[in-house]
Chain A
Amino acid sequence: MNQAENQKVRFYQTGTYTVGNRLLDGDIRTVQASSDRSNSLDSGHRACQGCGEALGARYAIDAAMRETNNQLIACNATGCLEVFTTPYPETAWQMPWIHSLFGNAAAVATGVAAAMKVKGRQDVRVIAQGGDGGTTDIGFGCLSGMFDRNDDVLYICYDNQAYMNTGVQRSSATPPAARTATTMPVGPEPGNQFGQGKNVPLVALAHNIPYVATASVHDLHDLERKVKKAMSVRGSRYLQIFVPCPLGWGSKPCDTIKLARMATECGLWPMFEGEYGEITNTHKLRRPSKVDGYLKLQRRFAHLFKPGQEGQLAKMQDLADTNIRKFQLLEEGSDDE
C-alpha cells in the first residue's frame, strides 16, 4: 500500500519522494509541484521562519482545492494559523474562510455544511481546521459531536504539540518529557508527565467515522494521497498532520521537515489510516532509527541528555518501540517495499 499504490514509476533519480521531478509524468507529481497550484495560503503571512503549520496547511488545503475544483470553505479555530494568516483587515487565505471562536470550529463547519446542503450546493465542501489545542482540548466537545452526527466535514488538526500562539503551554497533545511554559524541566521527572494526554486520531477512530488518518509535512506524497482519499468520501473525516514548530520546540527553522521525518522514522509519530473504526493501513518505516537523533535537535528535550536522565530517555524510546509494535511499522526488508 501507501506509495507503491499510486507510484508505479520507480527508480527515478530522486524516486518517489521529492515534490516533483522533471522526469515524472504530471499526474504522479504532487499538487505542490504544479505551477498552477492554488496557493490557498499565500506569501506575506506572519508565521515564524520555518513554520511547519504554514507549510502543512498549504499542502493540505491546496490538495483539497484540487479535489473539489476549488469549491471549498474553511472554518478556522483560534490559534497560530488564524492569527498569523489573518490579522484584520489583511488575510493570506485565497479561499472562502471563516473564523469564529477557539473551541467551536467543528460546530461552525457543521453549520456551513448544513447550509450548503439546504442550498443544494453539494459540490461545495467544508473543512474545519485548527491546532492541537483548539482540537484536542478546547474544541474537543464540538469535534466529538460532529463525529457523532457524522456531519460532512473534513477536520484537519495541525499538531505542533502545544499552545504555541499563547507562549508554548502544554496541551493534551504535548509529548511526555517535553518542556513547555507549564511543564518546566524541574524535579526528578522534568518536563511533561508520562502517561497523560490524548491520542485523538485513535479517539476519532473510535467514533466509527468513515476516515481517519495521520500524516506529516515531511512526506508530501503520502499527505496529499490522504487528503485526496478524505475528499473522496462523505461524512466526518479526521486528519492530524504533524507540523514541527521551531519556536516552541527550540529547533532550527531549517530543520522543520527533517524533524518531521525523524519523528516518523523513529516511531514517535506513527502514520496510519483507518476506516469505520478499523486501522486499514500503516506507513512502514523506510529507515528506522532511534529517538535520540530526533530529540537532540530540540531544546524542549535538552534536559533528557543531562546526566541522571537516562531512565527518562529510555522511556521515550519505549514509547517509540511500543508504537512500532502496536502499529506494525516494520516490515521485512524495511527500506522501501
Chain B
Amino acid sequence: MNKPFAITLDVGTSLLNHTGSWRTERPVYVDRLPPCNSTCPAGENIQGWLFHAEEGNYEQAFYTIMEDNPFPAVMGRVCYHTCETACNRTTLDDPVGINAVERFIGDEALRHGWNVEAGEDSGKKVMIIGSGPGGLAAAYHLRRKGHQVTVFESAPKAGGMLRYGIPKYRLPREKLAGEIGRIEKLGAEIRLNSPVSDVANTMKKEGFDACFLGFGAHVGQQVDLPNDGSVPVHDAVTVLRDLENEQLPDLHGNVVVYGGGNTAFDVARSATRLGALNVTVVYRRDRDMMPAHHEEIHEALEEGVQIACLRTIKGISDGQLELEIMVTGDDKMPQATGQTEMMKADVLVQAVGQGVDLSPIANLQGIVENRGVIQVGYDMQTGCAGVFAGGDMVPSPRTVTDAIGHGKKAAKNIDAYLNGKIYVAPEKHDPAPYEELNTWYYSDAPRSIRPILDVARRQSGFAEVVGNLDEKTAQYESRRCMSCGNCLECDNCYGVCPDNAVLKLGPGKGFEFKYDYCKGCGMCVEECPCGSIEMVPEDI
C-alpha cells in the first residue's frame, strides 16, 4: 500500500455520485405561446421577430414576419394591434410598442429592398378576386408555395380597402405600393380594371385549379331618412373612394358623419383636412360603445372633430338635421327619449355599414349566404369545392389584419387542396400567462412614444400623422419584450442551479440539463424570467 499517512482510500471526485437519482420531478425546457402571438389575427410570431430585432438583426426580424404576413410596413400603420392589448408587460408597466417596431422593420425592408423567394413552380393556377389585404396575402403565400396566381382587380389601382378605405394620412401610398410591388416581384400577376362578373365562368375559361374570393365590402349602406333635399347625403365608402381617385368630394361647411366606426372617423378626419368648417360625428350609443379604435377617436378629437353621442338622426329639413336624444338602457342598448334637437348641416355622410356585392358568385353551386356575407369552413373553403373566401365578405371583425390572416389560412388550405391533401395546423403550445413569469428580473423601461405631427399641419393636409421610431428607440422598444414563454438566453437557469446541472450550449443553442446530477429542486423553473422551463413528474 503506497499511500500517504492515514490514507486508506484513493481520492475521488464527487462526479461519481449521480445525485440525479434523488429526483422525483425533472425540469424540461418548453416553448409557450405568448399572448401577443396568440391574439394576432394574422398569426404572426411576434415574440419571434422581436427576438431578432432585440439583437439589431432587423433583416432576420423581417423574414420572420414574412413567414406570416407580407405587409409589415402596412401593418405597422393600420393594424389595431390586439397583440399590445394582450401583452403581459401591461401588468408590469405598459405594453411593448409592437406596432411601432413592426413599422420600423417594414420601412427598413422597403428602404433596403429586402425580399423573399417564390417556391418551385407547382404547375397549378389559382384565381384570386380582389387585391385587398386578404387577396394579396393569399397570392403571396401561394406564390411562396410555387403556385401561379392571377389577381383580378376591378379598380384602377391595387390595394382594395387599404387604398380605397384608409386615407393617406394613415397609410402613405408609396409604402402600400412598395409592399404590393414586392408581391408582384414574387410573380403574382395583378390585372387592374378587370372586374369578374361570373366567377364560375372565368375559372373554367382560363383553367384555374382553385379560387380565393376577397371581394371586400365596398357597398356603402345608408339609413333611409326623410329628406327635403336641403342637405346632400353621401355614403362613406363612396366618399373615401372618390378621395383616392382625386375626385375631391364636396365636404364643406358643417359636415356631419353618421356612425361610430373607424370608417366614420376616416371620413370625419378627411373632411377636416379638406377644409370643412365643422365636423361632427353623430352616434346613437354611448362614447364607450363606439366600435372605432380609441386611438382613432383620440386623434380625431385632437384635430377638432366633435362627437355627438346618444343621438339618432330622424330627418332632414331646411338645412338642419333633426336629432333624437337617446339614453343607455339597462341592457346597454340605446333607448329613444322622444326629445329632439336640431343640428345645422351642409353635408351628411352616412357611415352606417358596408355590404358585399355577391353577384359574381351567383352561378357558383353550394355557396351559403347568411346576413350579407358568405359562410366558410374552418379551412376558409366555401360550400363550393375549390373556392375559398376571406376578408370582409366572410363573418369576421373586418380588420385588415383579419383579412391577411384569412389569406394566409386560405393559402395553406388551397395548397393542400391542390395537392389532394387536407391541411392540419400544428398543435398550439400551452399559453404563457403573466403568472408564469418572474418579473423581478425585468428592469423598469418606460414605453417609447412615436412622434406625432402637429395638429395644425394635420388639419391642413394629408401628410402622415404618426411618425417612425429611430433605430435606437426601435431597438430599445423591442428589448422591452419579456419573451414570454420562450427562452431569451439570460443564463439564469445556468447560474442558479446549486448542482451545476445545466449545460450552456452557446449563443443561439440554449441550454441542456445534466440529468445525472439534477436533483429536481425546481429553482431554475422558479427563477426563469420568461417561464420557459417546467417540471414534469419522473416515471418512478
Chain A residues proximal to chain B, CB less than 8 Å: 10-23, 29-30, 32-33, 35, 39, 41-52, 54-55, 58, 85, 88-92, 220, 246, 252-258, 261, 286-287, 335-336
Residues of B within 8 A of A51 (CB): 498, 521
**Nearest CB on A from B360, distance (A):** 50
A89 → B minimal CB distance (Å): 4
Point out the residues of chain A lying under 8 angstroms from B22, CB to CB. 49
**Nearest 10 pairs of A and B residues by beta carbon:** A15-B443, A19-B495, A20-B491, A254-B522, A44-B14, A50-B521, A92-B14, A43-B517, A18-B490, A253-B521
**Chain B residues near A29 (CB-CB < 8 A):** 491
Question: Which residue of B15, B443, B497 is within 8 Å of A11 (Cβ)?
Answer: B443
Q: A254 to chain B: which residues have CB within 8 Å? A: 521-523, 525-526
Instruction: Judge whether B488 is part of the interface by a CB distance below 8 angstroms.
Output: yes
Residues of A within 8 A of B19 (CB): 43-46
Residues of B near A335 (CB, < 8 A) are 444
- Establish whether residues B490 and A54, one from each chain, have CB atoms under 8 Å apart when the complex forms: no
Q: Does B445 interact with chain A (Cβ within 8 Å)?
A: yes
Contact status of A43 and B15, CB under 8 A, knowing A33-B494, A35-B504, A89-B9:
yes
Write out the residue numbers on chain B whose beta carbons fall within 8 Å of the beta carbon of A41.
500
B482 beta carbon closer than 8 Å to chain A:
yes
Given known pairs A21-B490, A22-B488, A33-B491, the reply for A13 and B482 (CB within 8 Å) is yes
Check if B529 sits within 8 Å of A14, measured CB to CB.
yes
Q: Give A246 to B523 CA distance when docked, in angstroms.
A: 12
Q: State how many angstroms separate the Cβ of B299 from the closest Cβ of chain A.
A: 28
Give the number of A-B contacts (CB < 8 Å). 175
Question: Do residues B54 and A13 form an inter-chain contact, with CB atoms below 8 A?
Answer: yes
Name the distance in Å between A30's Cβ and chain B's nearest Cβ.
7
A148 CB → nearest B CB, Å: 34
Q: Does B2 contact A (CB under 8 A)?
A: no
Other-chain contact of A18, B491, B519, B525 (Cβ < 8 Å): B491
Beta-carbon nearest neighbor of B481 in chain A? A13
Chain A CB within 8 A of B520 CB: yes
B77 shortest CB reach to chain A, Å = 26
Q: State how many angstroms separate the Cβ of A46 from the closest Cβ of chain B.
A: 7
Say how far A45's CB is from chain B's closest CB, in angstroms: 5
For residue B506, which residues in chain A have a CB less than 8 angstroms away from its CB?
35
- Bound together, the chains give a CA A90 to CA B10 distance in angstroms of 9
Contacts of B54 in A (CB 8 A): 13, 23
Give 12 new A-B contacts, CB below 8 A, not counting A43-B501, A46-B14, A50-B521. A13-B54, A13-B442, A19-B495, A22-B490, A22-B507, A32-B494, A39-B500, A42-B13, A42-B15, A43-B14, A50-B519, A55-B498
In the bound complex, residues from chain B placing their C-beta under 8 Å from that of A336 are: 443-444
| Contact yes or no, B443 A42, CB < 8 A | no
A293 to chain B, nearest CB (A): 13
Of residues 501 through 540 on chain B, the ones whose CB sits less than 8 Å from some CB of chain A are 501, 504, 506-507, 514, 516-517, 519-523, 525-527, 529
Interchain nearest-CB distance for B464 vs A (Å): 28
Residue of A nearest to B23 (CB): A49
Residue of B whose beta carbon sits closest to that of A256:
B523
Establish whether residues B17 and A19, one from each chain, have CB atoms under 8 Å apart when the complex forms. Answer: no
| Closest CB in chain B relative to A95 CB, distance in Å | 13
Q: B479 to chain A: which residues have CB within 8 Å?
A: 11-13, 23
* Bound complex: CA A296 to CA B514 (Å): 33
* Interface assignment of B499: CB less than 8 Å from any CB of chain A: yes
Chain B nearest CB from A62 CB (Å) reads: 10
Residues of A within 8 A of B504 (CB): 35
Instruction: Given A21-B490, A42-B14, A45-B14, answer yes or no on A15-B442 (Cβ-Cβ < 8 Å).
Output: yes
- Tell me whether A90 and B443 are in contact in the complex, defined as CB-CB below 8 angstroms, given that A43-B499, A52-B498, A55-B498 are known contacts: no
